[in-house]
Amino acid sequence: MNVVVTGGAGFIGSHLIDRLLKEGHNVTNIDNFDSFYDESIKRENIKGHFEYDAYKLHEVDIRDKEVLDKAIFDDTDVIVHLAAKAGVRPSIADPIAYQEVNVAGTQNMLEVAREKDIKQFVFASSSSVYGKNPNVPWKEDDAVLQPISPYASTKVSGELLGHVYSHLYDIRFLALRFFTVYGPRQRPDLAIHKFLKLMSDGKEITLYGDGSTRRDYTFIDDIVDGIMGAINYTDTLYEVINLGNNETVELLELVEAIEKASGITAKKTFGPEQPGDVKQTWADVSNAGNLLNYHADYSIDKGLKAFVEWYNEVNGE
């Protein structure tokens, strides 16, 4: 297949491209190396991809429709749209930029798909769309979406834009709601990576709230399995699908698990709850199992062991 991956130099995207190239697919990576975190990390993520003749990188901003039209060819079989401005808290500080990239940029990608007759479109949505919904575990058909951050609202918008294009133009659109993805190459600003670095440096970690918030942590290999399932899905034209681990871990339990995996005792301090953060995420993944044959293989302990091994290797510890 000829696959376009937007945001392919990032954490999830680079792992997906690893898999696609190993399976013999042709991959075009669209990435603008946004300055949200160190560009050199993303360059390192994709270093091995240039060994493949089937790989092309185009440094393009998804807001630039004219350049996108030139970078994406008519023979593309599927678009996997991962590119976005990420993070709940930064979106509160700069909501307009999040709207421009995550909504207008997604519209551009759907327009490219329409104009070039690309019939398979996989969209990276987020568990944050559920917001304050108290009905856990969260199911895709629960109509109670209560997003509480600009980031979350942009992901809801992306899902709805996909429904429009699916209905009008017969584009198969699969919105994958990712639940707190972690693993090797995880962004340095995310909790597990940030905590381990601070612990390794002998510094305090700050837990916001009383440590009782809960997340459904999903290992990167499981997420990539789910995306591959969506790439190959050929039935209905529009689906929204949770990709999670189907278990929820308390923040204090997470810290204990990192301590166990790393052998380092955390120095903890507590701060105020952060605006836009939800109390709990928890995925019902039965839909993913039925539609994509998805099953999460990594428990939090197994996933953290792999993450710590990668972290120590990269940092020479």
Nearest to 50 by CA among 81, 23, 14: 14
Contacts of 160 (CB under 8 A, 6+ apart): none
Q: How many CB atoms lie within 10 A of CB 63?
A: 14
CB 18, CB 50: distance < 8 Å: no
CB 138, CB 121: distance < 8 Å: no
Q: Which two tokens stand for residue 177?
A: 């709601």
Rounded CA separation 239/146 (Å): 19
- Among 151, 217, 233, 298, the active-site one is 151
Is 151 considered catalytic here?
yes
CB 80, CB 63: distance < 8 Å: no
CB 21, CB 49: distance < 8 Å: yes
Rounded CA separation 206/211 (Å): 10
Rounded CA separation 35/275 (Å): 23
Per-residue exposure over 185-223, b if at least 16 CB sit within 10 Å of its own CB, e if not: bbbeebbbbebbebbeeeeebebeeeeebbbbbbbbbbb
Nearest to 303 by CA among 134, 191, 183: 183
Q: Which two tokens stand for residue 12?
A: 């999830």
**Which residue numbers are catalytic?**
151
